[in-house]
């Protein structure tokens, strides 16, 4: 029997405690599948006295996580602190510098410093593993990097944030507004006290940047991701979507175009019959399109102690078994630097909701503004008549270039009959 894999764990929050619990509960199973035990030799967290529901008495405790990464008697370091810089980054860099394998669930760190960490890891011949950083318990990194390795991927997209998906699902099912459902999500623990990273799309954008790098063998480019959240999605938008045959989902999409790599996170109207339209609540889903395999979809819980710990331990088991692949599908020195496709060049159909004064000539003014930018109208819905107050008018367009759509909406917003800024949601038909 091979000697045990000794590890050091930085961060004992929900996920860190989950990792220790899983390693303890499934110790025999893990040893049988790896031929090695995985032993936690050292841990580090901010509060030594906190009861985490796991026994850490036999492990060396470090108050300084970076010191642990350098000094602990460990073959691998697990970083579960979080944050793009600060202590988390120091732990990762020191672990690699000392020739230790690194397992991390830190999507923000990887989205910003992923390529640099991959180069450092390869120079020291150690693994950089991060299955837990994207979509929790869904083994999507391994699927893209290994299971679909023989395919040329054309597109990767999915629901990458459970909080936003829960909010949009609950709004539709309970017919309540964004603010009320967000408050409920915070009470249930699905949303943070400061929900910005989730509802403004930042969390999903971090994950999309990582997925794009793995899928297309390019350097991680978080700054190239177009990001738009769900704060502006109203209950009326969700109800109009249903009437038009759609559901609204916050999607992250990466694909190669003639303008470069397109990476975008924003609310989408997806056909109600599409499989991803039925991924509800806190669940995540990722779809990959390959030239030989066709379309594959992966679905599961995107967060939480159990799913994330499962992904972390899977990476540790790979290390224990001696399985090591390039972090982002190709050697770090071969990662391509791809141009970012500007969002203005995106082509698609659009949903637009306007609040207008109900008087003769209003619709003619709106359609003239669309005509002037060569935007073709597909459908129009108008509910009610009110000569005093504004009434909603909903438009859908045929496929057009985003730059033209933005110019048309700017012209419409200037019309005296339009009382609120136009609300636009992109329609995604090809799913």
Span 75-127, pLDDT tens digits? 999 999 999 999 999 999 999 999 999 999 999 999 999 999 999 999 999 99
Last residue of a domain, one of 133, 159, 187: 133
Last residue of a domain, one of 74, 100, 133: 133
- Pick 388 or 160 by higher pLDDT: 160
Residues paired with residue 158 on neighbouring β-strands, in sequence order: 252, 286
User: Does some domain include residue 320?
Assistant: no
Mark whether 274 and 148 lie in a shared domain: yes
User: Does some domain include residue 307?
Assistant: no
User: Does some domain include residue 315?
Assistant: no
Q: CB under 8 Å to 408, separation ≥6 — which residues? A: 369, 370, 372, 373, 375
Mark whether 210 and 337 lie in a shared domain: yes
Q: CB under 8 Å to 389, separation ≥6 — which residues? A: none
pLDDT tens track for 348-399: 999 999 999 888 888 999 999 999 999 999 999 887 666 567 889 999 999 9
Mark whether 146 and 128 lie in a shared domain: no
Give me the number of domains the chain comprises.
3
- Can you read off the two tokens belonging to residue 424? 């636009």
User: Does some domain include residue 318?
Assistant: no
Residues paired with residue 247 on neighbouring β-strands, in sequence order: 270
- pLDDT, position 389: 74
Q: CB under 8 Å to 47, separation ≥6 — which residues? A: none
- Can you read off the two tokens belonging to residue 377? 């109208």
Mark whether 159 and 50 lie in a shared domain: no
Mark whether 182 and 119 lie in a shared domain: no
Is 207 an active-site residue? yes
User: Does some domain include residue 313?
Assistant: no
Q: At what angle do helices 14-25 and 27-34 cross, to 10 degrees?
A: 70
Radius of gyration of the chain (CA): 24
Token pair 């669930």 is found at 105
Q: What is the dihedral of CA 254, 255, 258, 263, to 10 degrees?
A: 0
Q: What CATH number has the domain bearing residue 399? A: 3.30.70.260
Q: CB under 8 Å to 197, separation ≥6 — which residues? A: 203
Residue 306 DSSP one-character state: H
Mark whether 285 and 367 lie in a shared domain: no
Q: What CATH number has the domain bearing residue 200? A: 3.30.360.10
Cα gap 173→195, rounded to integer Å: 21
- pLDDT, position 378: 94
- pLDDT, position 386: 60
Q: What CATH number has the domain bearing residue 41? A: 3.40.50.720
Mark whether 152 and 224 lie in a shared domain: yes
- pLDDT, position 134: 96
User: Does some domain include residue 88?
Assistant: yes
- pLDDT, position 1: 64
Closest CA to 162 of 253, 230, 78: 230
Q: What is the largest CA-CA distance in the chain?
A: 84
Mark whether 148 and 226 lie in a shared domain: yes
pLDDT tens track for 251-273: 999 999 999 999 999 999 999 99
Cα gap 10→31, rounded to integer Å: 23
Mark whether 166 and 238 lie in a shared domain: yes
Mark whether 286 and 360 lie in a shared domain: no
Q: Is 80 exceeded by the pLDDT of residue 330?
A: yes
Mark whether 284 and 153 lie in a shared domain: yes
Q: CB under 8 Å to 89, separation ≥6 — which residues? A: 83, 109, 113
Cα gap 134→406, rounded to integer Å: 32
Mark whether 178 and 295 lie in a shared domain: yes
Per the structure, the complete domain to which residue 335 belongs is given by 140-301+328-343
Q: What is the DSSP code string of 342-367?
A: PGGG-EEEEEEEEEEE--TTHHHHHH
pLDDT tens track for 340-349: 999 999 999 9
Residue 139 DSSP one-character state: -
Q: Is the pTM of this model over 0.85?
A: yes
User: Does some domain include residue 187?
Assistant: yes
- Can you read off the two tokens belonging to residue 167? 């909010």
User: Does some domain include residue 308?
Assistant: no
pLDDT tens track for 404-425: 999 999 999 999 889 999 999 9
pLDDT tens track for 300-325: 998 888 999 999 999 999 999 999 99
Last residue of a domain, one of 133, 166, 194: 133
Distances (CA, A) of 285 to 5, 9, 76, 138: 32, 28, 30, 8
Residues paired with residue 254 on neighbouring β-strands, in sequence order: 156, 263
Which position among 6, 207, 249, 414 bears the catalytic label? 207
Count the neighbouring beta carbons within 10 Å of the beta carbon of residue 423: 18
């Amino acid at each position: 029997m091979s000697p045990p894999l000794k590890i050091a764990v930085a961060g004992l929050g929900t996920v860190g405690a989950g990792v220790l619990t899983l390693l303890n509960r499934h110790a025999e199973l893990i040893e049988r599948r790896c031929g090695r035990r995985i032993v936690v030799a050292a841990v580090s967290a901010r509060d030594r006295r906190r009861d985490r529901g796991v026994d850490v008495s036999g492990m060396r405790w470090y108050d300084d996580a970076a010191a642990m990464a350098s000094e602990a008697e460990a073959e691998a370091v697990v970083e579960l602190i979080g944050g793009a810089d600060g202590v988390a980054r120091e732990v990762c860099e020191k672990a690699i510098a000392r020739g230790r394998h690194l397992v991390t669930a830190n999507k923000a760190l990887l989205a910003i410093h992923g390529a640099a960490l991959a180069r450092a890891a390869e120079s020291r011949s150690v693994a950089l593993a991060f299955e837990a950083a994207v979509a929790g318990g869904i083994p999507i990194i391994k699927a893209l990097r290994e299971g679909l390795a023989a395919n040329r991927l054309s597109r990767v997209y999915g629901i990458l944030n459970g909080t936003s998906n829960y909010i949009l699902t609950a709004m539709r099912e309970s017919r309540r507004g964004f603010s009320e459902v967000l408050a409920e999500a915070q009470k249930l623990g699905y949303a943070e006290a400061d929900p910005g990273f989730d509802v403004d799309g930042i969390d999903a954008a971090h994950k999309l940047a990582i997925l794009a790098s793995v899928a297309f063998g390019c350097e991680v480019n978080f700054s190239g991701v177009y990001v738009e959240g769900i704060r502006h999605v109203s209950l009326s938008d969700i109800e109009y979507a249903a009437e038009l045959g759609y559901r609204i989902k916050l999607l992250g999409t990466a694909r190669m175009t003639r303008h470069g790599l397109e990476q975008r996170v924003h609310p989408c109207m997806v056909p109600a019959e599409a499989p991803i339209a039925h991924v509800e609540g806190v669940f995540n889903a990722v779809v990959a399109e390959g030239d030989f395999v066709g379309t594959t979809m992966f679905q599961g819980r995107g967060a939480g102690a159990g799913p994330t710990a499962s992904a972390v331990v899977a990476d540790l088991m790979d290390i224990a078994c001696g399985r090591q692949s390039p972090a982002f599908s190709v050697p770090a020195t071969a990662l391509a630097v791809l141009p970012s496709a500007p969002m203005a060049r995106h082509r698609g159909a659009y949903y637009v909701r306007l609040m207008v004064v109900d008087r003769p000539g209003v619709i003619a003014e709106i359609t003239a503004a669309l005509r002037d930018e060569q935007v073709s109208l597909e459908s129009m819905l108008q509910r009610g008549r009110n000569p005093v107050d504004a009434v909603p008018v909903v438009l859908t367009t045929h496929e057009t270039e985003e730059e033209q759509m933005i110019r048309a909406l700017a012209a419409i917003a200037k019309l005296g009959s339009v009382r609120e800024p136009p609300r636009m949601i992109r329609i995604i038909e090809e799913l």
